[in-house]
Amino acid sequence: MKLKDIGEVCSFNVQEDNKIEFLTYDSRKVKENSLFFAIKGHSVDGNVFVKDLLRRYKNIYVLSEKEHNDARCFKVFDVKECMGRVSSAFFKEPSKKIDVVGITGTNGKTTTTYLLRSIFKDSEIMGTTGYTIGDRLYKLNNTTPESLDIHKILSEMVRCGSKKCFMEISSHAITLNRIAGVDFKLKVFTNISQDHLDYYKTMDNYAKAKLSFFEKSDKKVVNIDDNYAKNIVDNNSITYGFFDNADIYPKRYDFGIDGIEMDLSVFGKTVYIKSNLIGKYNIYNIMCAVGVATFFNKDLKEIENGIRNFKNTPGRLEFFKKDGMYAVVDYAHTDDAMENVLSTLKQIKKGRLIVVFGAGGDRDKSKRPKMGKVADELADIVVVTSDNPRSEDPDAIIGDILNGINRKRDIFVEKDREKAIISALDMANKNDIVAILGKGHEDYQILNNKTIHFDDREVIRKHWKV
């Protein structure tokens, strides 16, 4: 790509016809013939590295929202927006060569992407657990990466012959313009409940961020049961919900520990659905996936088979069994997600429900007592422990959770997460369910400034020898 082309994309004048071979927003990855996007991040401002980079390299160029006294630096109004546009052009507009479906909402995004990948064999996913290329899963630092990374990944998917990408869109990605330059074929809304108030401060701000992803002209799939749906639903929407005012709704449903069975009305046609997933909220996820599949005119029989053949999402109601006892690992880390999981498990349990959970440090503190209240109301035994405490004192986080718990018995506190899980597993009798919540698929724990390897599922396998 030529520097002149970048000037045209980002609306600045440049006479040089120099070739740009590399794009980066990471100062450590700059080399000759690079274009460096000087982004002001949450903790690091890329502009502080510009002077040194210009001194070290002759043929590099910089885009920034700040003035830098060098002819190789170009000031732009929005460097994130420019990075998206330039990245799209640099990688030859990959989002126009693959059907990109953006899925946003507080809960359900990950499971929906996995369901859709089971329905569409020529598809990939990008989100919380990483991104796929064929049979391989690669990790990501964020649910939705920076736009440069998105376009690069999409170009790899196109090169490998993939036809669709089902992408989770986080609220931060919308607010921080990580999805600039992406051409979405379809946009999906699952739901909105409290999350990320450490960043957005109010539910209104958080909801506005989510809803700003949608414009009137967008083709959409919308959960019409959610209170916020009325802000975006229109004639371009495929709707789903539990009532017959939706395009897709269950005429009959039943679920137990072995899965879901239902008769689903899809634009007036009845489809029999059998799934390994459990719970009412997974019925929502299934309906969402069906809505997306019908948008692409997928055969109803293929949709049915894709849902039937799907086993589970990593770290989402992932079950383990030993001698009639059950353990389940789930990513639920908000009070709403915890309520969904625990109320589902309470309906199917034959013994006691034991819950192990904590809350993340340096994140929304107001949800901690609410999480405690949900556990107090729905579980028979509560074990409060650490999640990712980050720079906060784990005891202080646990104290915030305990403020929402009123019970005086069957409540245990163990700061060490591994010990907490083991103690809960040891409490279990036949038919009991031990729900270990908060980290799901994660294989690490962040303790102050240190990240250690830790996986809830490994603790279960090792202790129960399963």
Clarify whether residues 83 and 100 are in a common domain.
no
Alpha helices (H) in 32-189, listed in sequence order = 50-56, 79-90, 109-119, 147-159, 171-175
Where residue 255 sits, what CATH number does that domain have? 3.40.1190.10
The label of the residue with tokens 């590399």 reads 22
Measured distance CA(62)–CA(73) in Å, rounded: 5
**Can you give the pLDDT at residue 12?**
87
**Can you give the pLDDT at residue 377?**
97
Clarify whether residues 195 and 212 are in a common domain.
yes
Clarify whether residues 212 and 84 are in a common domain.
no
Residues 6+ apart with CB under 8 A from 452: 444, 445
Clarify whether residues 119 and 181 are in a common domain.
yes
- For 278, other C-beta atoms within 10 Å of its C-beta total 23
In order along the chain (466 residues), what is the average pLDDT of each group of 10 residues? 92 85 97 96 91 96 94 94 97 98 94 98 96 95 95 98 97 93 97 73 86 93 96 96 97 93 97 95 97 98 98 92 96 93 94 98 94 98 97 97 96 98 98 97 93 97 97
Clarify whether residues 141 and 266 are in a common domain.
yes
Q: Write down which residue in 48, 70, 90 finishes a domain.
A: 90
**Can you give the pLDDT at residue 200?**
66
Clarify whether residues 351 and 387 are in a common domain.
yes
252: tokens are 């009959």
**Can you give the pLDDT at residue 292?**
98
Where residue 366 sits, what CATH number does that domain have? 3.90.190.20
Question: β-strand 353-357 against 325-330: which pairing, if any?
Answer: unpaired
Q: Write down which residue in 30, 60, 90 finishes a domain.
A: 90
> What is the residue-wise DSSP string for 197-215?
HHHH-SHHHHHHHHHTT--
Clarify whether residues 83 and 131 are in a common domain.
no
**Domain count within the chain:** 3
Clarify whether residues 160 and 231 are in a common domain.
yes
Where residue 51 sits, what CATH number does that domain have? 3.40.1390.10
Q: Write down which residue in 90, 123, 153 finishes a domain.
A: 90
Q: Which domain holds residue 35?
A: 3-90
